[in-house]
Structure 1
Amino acid sequence: MPDTSTFDQDIKDVHLIYDYDAVNEKTGKHELWRYEMYFQSKATQDRIVYAIHGGPMAGRYNYQKAEYQCIRPGELWQCNWLEETGTICSMVYDIPKQTITTLLGFSKGHWEEAEKAHGDKRNEADFQRWRSLAKIGTQADRKLLSEQASIVENFKGAGDLKPVDESWPTM
């Protein structure tokens, strides 16, 4: 668990909306992929709530248990989590530069059947469908994606995202 005072100052209750300037692999054209991340931290310091509004994963609403690591107080934080789909996510939040840098290790099922990863984890059918995506392919079949995003909004609170009960299971 990260240092409470630094975590509370830098991350607790922070809500970020950010855009990736990504390239569509099929068309070669630039696209803005909008993501939204809420570092929900009430009793514990291990929850994130997020929504994906653009790109191949648009239409996905999820929450996870996350691991936070302070790289430099007031400047850099790393947040990592594993999704039900088998996708490994790692992001670095650069506070002064207002950027997000990510490395995503999509499972073969999640990447190749992205539309099946859409939905809301709170819906049991969506949740079970996501879990089935993790069974497609092997560790070696992962699609690695490294991107950098610009933060367009930074505020406190859940905003339009639905907060989660921190006792809810994540896997």
Structure 2
Amino acid sequence: MPVLPSLENTSFNTDIRNRHLIYDYAAHDSNGKSEKWRYEMWFYNEDRIVYAIHGGPMAGRKNFQTATYQCIRPGELWQCNWLEETGTICSLVYDIPNKRITTLLGFSKGHWTQNGAARGDKRNPEDLARWRRLACVGESQADRVLLSEQADIVEDFRGPGNLETIDLDWPTL
């Protein structure tokens, strides 16, 4: 069984490749007050994503990662999954016709409880080293906070937008 599912004979190039989404989660702060958590995702190619977080407890984070994609329904539903240096497991489903994102995030305890330390840019070696230390916080890798959310897509276009391109030789998890 291959680690990465084959994208051959899928609608990946039409549906996902180089697609850039900006989306808002309708969330609540610790006092229950409504707020928007803005995220930005660029499906860079068949095995990379680039993203930035502009709102919510993880605001100020810029990252790129190796990702796996699988087509659920061509032209309609795609799933994208990745693991971060913080130990956080991410799964995103992109609903094309309904312009919705559905996510399940398995935050490492360190990422969730020390979210200020999870901010920064992966291109900065100090930020990356700090993120990796966050994965070690807690009793075990089972010590996680699960967050299931849905977001509305507010912008959908092709290309980098304001996100920086990456070098495919840069290491990821």
Same fold (TM over 0.5): yes
Q: How many percent of aligned residue pairs carry the same amino acid?
A: 66
Counting only pairs closer than 5 Å after superposition, residues 1-171 of structure 1 correspond to structure 2 as 1-3=6-8, 5-24=10-29, 26-41=30-45, 45-137=46-138, 138-171=140-173
SS of the residue aligned with 1:9?
helix
1:49-70 deviations in Å (ceiling 9; x for gaps): 0000000000000000000000
- 1:5 deviates by 5.0
Aligned-partner residue type, residue 145 of structure 1: L
Unmatched 5+ stretches in structure 2: 1-5
TM-align CA RMSD: 0.9
Counterpart CA distance in 1 for 2:20 and 2:78 is: 14
SS of the residue aligned with 2:157?
strand
- 1:36 deviates by 0.1
Counterpart CA distance in 1 for 2:50 and 2:168 is: 11
Aligned-partner residue type, residue 95 of structure 2: D
- 1:3 deviates by 2.7
Counterpart CA distance in 1 for 2:108 and 2:87 is: 5
Counterpart CA distance in 2 for 1:132 and 1:169 is: 17
Is residue 10–residue 71 contact of structure 2 (8 Å, CA) maintained in 1? Answer: no
1:100-154 deviations in Å (ceiling 9; x for gaps): 0000000000000000000000000000000000000122310000000000000
Counterpart CA distance in 2 for 1:48 and 1:4 is: 21
Unmatched 5+ stretches in structure 1: none
Select the structure that is richer in helix. 1
Superposed structure 1 runs of 4+ greater than 2 Å apart: none
TM-score of the two chains, using structure 1 as the length reference: 0.95
